[in-house]
Amino acid sequence: MADVLVVEDEESLLHTLRYNLTRAGHVVRLCTNGAKALELVRAQPPDVLLLDLMLPDLDGLEITRALRREPSNPAVNRVPILILTARDAEIDKVVGLEIGADDYLTKPFSMHELLARVKALVRRAGMSELPSQSTPTELQSGDLAVDTVAHRATRDGHNLKLKPREFELLSYLVQRPNQVHSRERLLLHVWGYEFAGDTRTVDVHVRWLRGKIEPDPTNPTRIQTVRGVGYLFAG
């Protein structure tokens, strides 16, 4: 069971979401505007925030940006955010992910898919709080170092500013060097999807990672593309 805050100004969808999430066993809070949503998250951070992109005051991107910049409360800063958008433009999805959203769904979407995404976000959030006892916590590959307990990555001794999902993806790849991973496999093990999600999400995060860990991102040597299959981390 998770505490889910739904921020949506379309009344019929708002109540449909509440009905289905409640049936799935979640505690659901409802909100119809951005300013109130920020208040609610800061007062009681939810386990998952379902956030409509288009709201009458602050839009979903502004809210996401504000929460990810929250300086005083790490629980607020790390709230999993699933953006709901009626737009189908790739730029909206990429911008949402770039400023810190964890996932997005384009309307109309099936309730089955939404519930699966919520479940994945809850599971990933819980797993990130519990370091694995079966894998090393400090990983090294050349001048690249990853500390999975401190949640820190460095390159040549300099800290890398990685978004949470970028860090999880890098950790997963560094722990499995020289193995080819399909996009679907990465969605399953890094994002927690138990279904065929949008594999473009993986490509976007790989591109961002390359920009931070590769000597020459246009000619990557660490995260290599295996054409027609997926990606490989050269250890």
Average pLDDT for residues 222-235, to the nearest whole number? Answer: 90
Tokens of 209: 């990672």
The answer, yes or no, to whether residue 158 has pLDDT greater than 70, is yes
pLDDT digits (tens, 9 = 90+) for 183-211: 888 887 888 765 556 678 899 999 999 99
More confident: 18 or 131: 18
In this predicted structure, the answer to whether residue 38 has a pLDDT above a threshold of 70 is yes
What integer pLDDT is reported at residue 111 of this predicted model? Answer: 94
Distance of CA 12 to the CA centre of its chain: 27
Angstrom distance (rounded) from CA 40 to CA 5 = 8
CA 111 from centroid of its chain's CA atoms:
19
* Structural domains of the chain in order of their starting residue, each with its CATH number: 3-128 (3.40.50.2300), 138-233 (1.10.10.10)
Percent of the chain's residues with pLDDT above 70? 89
pLDDT digits (tens, 9 = 90+) for 83-133: 998 766 666 667 778 888 888 888 889 999 999 999 888 887 765 544 444
